[in-house]
A and B are shown apart, each in its own frame.
Chain A
């Protein structure tokens, strides 16, 4: 298999990170310690990123040094241009980067920003943040649903089977909401529990709409 240069490898970085490593890139990686190191670092970033905000994380300075030295080595970035201001240097650096490398760098910057946001927080404050987020987003909905439910204290359709079914299922959904809320309180980061909670609210809203409609039709 024909060997490729580090620059070619950088061009193929997107498909590599997308889980489809080209064969020639794999061959290059076996022989090039710099690129191998870069890939290891990017993988490490992705792994860390998937668990950000749930654990205390610290970006390794090695990642940045390695990434930077690799880009410099490839001639893709140039440091120490005294004639240019810092902003100009950055703009020039971005302009000089080929598209895949730019995309990779952009992704890295986003991840770095995420790390920067999460770094000062400990696990407890993260949980509090999740919980507060959940409360902020569900409280208005909850209040609206309670108001809606209070507006017709005793639903009574002409058909007793329908009345019984709607009241029974409303009780089921209320219980479901209570259990989901408890679960979200216990594990604020649990997205499944949060999804279930939102769905339970949606079901309740839907049920109340049906009851209102049938109650009005019955009048």
Chain B
């Protein structure tokens, strides 16, 4: 005799099947009604917006991915790590506010996390705060402000006025135009294929890499305390260069024409290099305290 057959036989001996068929689903239904209604951890919301909408995102921890699309709406897909956190996404006029907050006291750190995938019109303005995790933004042409503590920020194909502030998070920017202002304490800053007329990047102990075009009348200021500042130029670039490292080295591969007039006051301190490359149309200022400054030819 099989086990199933034995159990069924024993069961039919002690109880009738008919009452059980009513009781079990009833109990299940009651248990569902008595429990707290929890929204699904994954949510998708859509908000119709007009031109130049503003999207704000406040998240303590998680992966935030923002991409531009052609629709005149903002789509927010959130994924909570636990039921201990709640996600709010609401629209106020042409602004969409997205935030994550604790649903109760004493939420475990690992539970206090939400990931977002957000699609916005390409002219959207973004304001993102994400303490840890990661922030990725692609193809958004509006202005944006991103602030993180430990989260890395990765930006692609931007065109607006971009301000990035991290404490320890790294920043990477590829094919960015417009105006860039980046500050960090220990994050590395990597700016590649840049087509920006204004770049101001500063980190204390991180490295800075700049590889891009020096546009006529553009201003490029890169500054760190220690670490390496590396600037890559092409033979067609035209810039006026000042590079100073107080305690470190300045390594230069550009054929510079020395400036005729008197140098800046602090050129007497540290290792400095001043000169003009081609017509000197852009202004490039590189400053380090005890880091190395490399001015190298682009491959």
- A residues in contact (CB < 8 Å) with B: 19, 47, 50, 158-162, 164-166, 168-169, 172-173, 176, 179-180, 183, 187, 190-193, 196, 200, 203, 207, 210, 214
Interface residue SS majority, chain A: helix
Instruction: Judge if B287 is at the interface, Cβ distance under 8 Å.
Output: yes
Task: Compute the total of residue contacts between A and B using a CB distance below 8 Å.
Answer: 84
Q: Measured between C-beta atoms, what is the minimum distance from B289 to chain A in Å?
A: 5
The residues of A that contact B205 with a CB separation of less than 8 Å are 172, 176
Please give me the residue from chain B that is nearest to A203 by CB atom: B185
Are A159 and B132 closer than 8 Å at their CB atoms?
yes
> Scoring B residues 163 to 193 as 1 if CB is less than 8 Å from chain A, else 0, what string do you get?
0000111000000000000000110000000
- A207 in contact with B185 given A158-B112, A172-B205, A191-B266 (CB within 8 Å): yes
Give the interface SS of chain B, mostly helix, strand, loop or mixed. Answer: loop
Per the bound structure, the CA–CA distance linking A191 and B205 in Å amounts to: 20
Q: Given A19-B261, A159-B132, A203-B185, do A192 and B244 touch, yes or no (CB 8 Å)?
A: yes
- Residues in chain A near residue B244, CB distance under 8 A: 192
Additional 8 contacts, C-beta under 8 A, given A165-B168, A169-B167, A192-B270: A158-B109, A162-B149, A165-B132, A176-B205, A183-B247, A192-B287, A193-B246, A193-B269
Q: How far is the CB of A166 from chain B (nearest CB, A)?
A: 6
CB distance from B84 to the nearest CB of A (A): 11
Smallest distance from the beta carbon of B274 to chain A beta carbons, Å? Answer: 14
* Inter-subunit contact A172/B270 (CB<8 Å): no
Taken together as a complex, chains A and B put the C-alpha atoms of A210 and B167 apart, in Å, by 10
Q: Which 10 A-B pairs have the closest CB atoms?
A: A165-B150, A165-B168, A161-B132, A169-B185, A190-B269, A192-B266, A162-B131, A162-B149, A191-B266, A169-B167
Which A residues are CB-close (under 8 A) to B132? 159, 161-162, 165
Pick the contact of B61: A159, A183, A190 (CB < 8 A): A159
Question: Once the chains bind, are B168 and A168 in contact (CB under 8 Å)?
Answer: yes
| Least CB separation from A54: chain B residue | B268
Question: Which of A165, A172, A190, A196 has the most B CB atoms < 10 Å from its CB?
Answer: A165
Chain B, 252-288, contact with A by CB distance < 8 Å: what is the 0/1 string?
0000000001100110011000000000000000010
> Number of B residues whose C-beta is below 8 Å from A?
29
A131 to B107, CA, bound (A): 50
B235 to chain A, nearest CB (A): 29
B225 proximal to A (CB < 8 A): yes
Which residues B184-238 have CB closer than 8 A to chain A?
A: 185-186, 204-205, 225
In the assembled complex, B60 has its CB within 8 A of some CB on chain A: yes
Interface residues of B in 128-144 (CB under 8 A from A): 131-132
Residues of B within 8 A of A173 (CB): 185, 204
Please indicate the chain A residues that have their CB under 8 angstroms from the CB of B60 in the complex: 158-159, 162
**Residues of B with C-beta under 8 A to A161:** 61, 131-132, 150
- Residue pair B269, A166 in contact (C-beta under 8 Å): no
Given the contacts A159-B109, A161-B61, A172-B204, A50 and B265 also touching, CB distance less than 8 Å = yes
Known: A162-B131, A172-B204. A190 touches B266 (CB 8 A): yes
Q: Which one of B107, B168, B269 contacts A187 once the chains associate, using CB atoms below 8 Å?
A: B269
A-B CB contact pairs (8 Å), 22 listed: A19-B261, A50-B262, A158-B112, A159-B60, A159-B112, A161-B61, A162-B61, A162-B150, A166-B149, A168-B186, A169-B168, A169-B185, A172-B186, A176-B205, A183-B246, A183-B247, A190-B266, A192-B246, A192-B269, A200-B204, A203-B185, A203-B204
Closest approach, in angstroms, between the C-beta of B114 and any C-beta of chain A? Answer: 13
- In the assembled complex, the Cα of A162 lies from the Cα of B169 at a distance in Å of 10
Q: Which residues of B contact A176 (CB under 8 A)?
A: 204-205, 225
